[in-house]
């Protein structure tokens, strides 16, 4: 062991009379967090790198599960060390680390493409721009529930296999014979092995599901009802802000109004009442199926 320490150095004393477990896992946790004589420094770098990868799509070390000699070297080694030290010095608080990264200049920079810079660093390893990336399956579904007003924020408790569940996607059970179709379409990972970095695919069934799935239609209707509850003059701004986190431009407002008027008329002619709710449902479904809703830019 490092510095001559044996596993007993991290052994946690058992409570008096305790016989049910050996407390070996507690000793492992002590060793894992020990930055002086254990694996704490490496653990901090790995955690920091995973969180960086979560926000940027690529870690400072591109091989998140291999920090050894066969893995990729870090693109910014000093930054990795600084963030790891900062994490340890602030009590391993991950929420603070997320905020630190997301309020940094590198995270908030534009995603605009620049050919001159791209000619030097085509893969954007040096982070000269923010690389747009698609959300994972869980946040896509959770975001749809959130904008529809249907998200059940209840914490803890049992999970489920019901695809119509309204809690966050983390509460889905994993059963290989009964996987959730919506999640699988958006690259839910294989759950029997460790996945350092998820694959991201773009296939036609994803768009077809957003257009035709009963769940997506239900989310769009809930979203439309929330929009219609706003003052009429604020509805379009509210819809764009809720779905895309941006205020629509004048041209977008004109196109949206034209679409809503024409769509409401079509629904009226089809016998769907005055067509207002149906038209707004169509519009809201288009918003949550579009790239600005599905991608971080």
- pLDDT tens digits along 151-167: 999 999 999 999 999 99
User: Does residue 20 carry a pLDDT above 90?
Assistant: no
Position 223 confidence tier, pLDDT thresholds 50, 70, 90: very high
Q: pLDDT at position 28, please?
A: 83
User: What's the mean pLDDT in 214-239?
Assistant: 96
pLDDT digits (tens, 9 = 90+) for 279-291: 999 999 999 999 9
Least Cα distance to 49 among 33, 38, 62, 36 occurs for: 62
Digit-coded pLDDT (tens) for 127-139: 999 999 999 999 9
Residue 12: the pLDDT is 73
pLDDT tier for residue 176 given thresholds of 50, 70 and 90: confident
For range 249-274, the mean pLDDT: 93
In which band, very low, low, confident or very high, does the pLDDT at 4 lie, cut at 50, 70 and 90? low
Tell me what pLDDT residue 266 has.
94
Question: Rounded to an integer, what distance in angstroms lies between the CA atom of residue 122 and that of residue 116?
Answer: 10
């Amino acid at each position: 062991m490092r510095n001559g320490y044996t596993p007993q150095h991290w052994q946690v004393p058992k409570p008096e009379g305790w016989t049910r477990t050996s407390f070996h896992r507690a000793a492992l946790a002590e060793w894992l967090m020990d930055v002086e004589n254990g694996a704490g420094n490496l653990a901090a770098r790995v955690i920091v790198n995973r969180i960086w990868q979560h926000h940027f799509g690529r870690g400072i070390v591109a091989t998140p599960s291999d920090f050894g000699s066969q893995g990729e070297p870090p693109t910014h080694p000093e930054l990795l060390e600084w963030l790891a030290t900062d994490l340890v010095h602030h009590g391993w608080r991950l929420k603070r680390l997320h905020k630190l990264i997301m309020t940094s200049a590198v995270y908030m920079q534009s995603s605009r493409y620049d050919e001159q810079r791209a000619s030097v660093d085509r893969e954007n390893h040096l982070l000269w721009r923010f690389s747009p990336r698609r959300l994972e399956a869980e946040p896509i579904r959770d975001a749809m529930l959130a904008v529809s007003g249907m998200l059940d924020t209840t914490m803890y408790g049992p999970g489920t296999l019901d695809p119509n569940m309204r809690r966050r996607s983390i509460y889905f059970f994993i059963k290989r014979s009964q996987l959730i179709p919506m999640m699988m379409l958006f690259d839910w990972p294989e759950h029997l092995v460790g996945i350092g970095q998820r694959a991201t695919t773009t296939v036609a069934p994803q768009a077809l599901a957003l257009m035709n799935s009963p769940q997506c239609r239900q989310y769009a209707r809930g979203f439309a009802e929330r929009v219609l509850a706003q003052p009429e003059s604020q509805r379009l701004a509210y819809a764009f802000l809720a779905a895309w986190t941006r205020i629509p431009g004048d041209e977008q407002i004109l196109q949206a109004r034209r679409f809503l008027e024409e769509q409401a008329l079509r629904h009226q002619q089809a016998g769907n009442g005055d067509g207002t709710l149906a038209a707004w449902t169509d519009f809201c479904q288009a918003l949550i199926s579009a790239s600005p809703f599905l991608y971080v830019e």
